[in-house]
Amino acid sequence: MIGSVLVAVTATIGNLLQGWDSATMAGAVMYIKKEFELDSQPTIEGLLVAMSLIGATCITIGSGNLADWLGRRPLLIISSMLYFLSGIVMLWSPNINVLLLARLLDGIGIGLAVTVVPIYISETAPSEIRGLLNTLPLFCGYIGMFLSYCMVFGMSFTALPNWRLMLGVLSVPSLIYFVLTVFFMPESPRWLVGKGRMNEAKKVLQMIRGREDVSGWFNSSQSF
Q: What are phi and psi of 214, to 5 degrees?
A: -120, 20
Which residues, including other chains, have CB under 8 Å from residue 74's CB and lie 6 or more apart? none
Q: How far is CA 193 from the centre of its chain?
A: 25
Identify whether the C-beta of residue 209 lies closer than 8 Å to the C-beta of residue 217: yes
pTM: 0.93
CA distance 187 to 200: 9
pLDDT at 224 over 80: no
In terms of pLDDT, which residue wins out, 156 or 219? 156
pLDDT tens-digit series, residues 46-97: 999 899 999 999 999 999 999 999 999 999 999 999 999 999 999 999 999 9
| Domains detected in the chain | 2-185 (1.20.1250.20), 188-224 (no CATH)
Mean per-residue pLDDT of the chain:
93
Mean pLDDT of 107-127: 96
Burial class (CB in 10 A: 0-12, 13-18, 19+), 191: buried
3-state SS string over 105-123?
Answer: HHHHHHHHHHHHHHHHHHH
148 confidence band (pLDDT: 50, 70, 90): very high
Among 95, 110, 92, which residue's Cα sits nearest to residue 50?
110
Mean pLDDT of 139-151: 96
What spatial distance separates the first Cα and last Cα of the chain, rounded to whole Å?
13
pLDDT given for residue 215 in this prediction: 73
> For the chain, what percent of residues have pLDDT higher than 70?
96
pLDDT tens-digit series, residues 16-57: 999 999 999 999 999 999 999 998 898 998 999 899 999 999
Q: What are phi and psi of 176, to 5 degrees?
A: -60, -45
CA distance 203 to 3: 12
Mean pLDDT of 98-126: 96
Query: What's the Cα-to-Cα distance from 155 to each of 112, 142, 159, 165, 184, rounded to whole Å?
Result: 30, 20, 9, 9, 34
pLDDT given for residue 219 in this prediction: 63
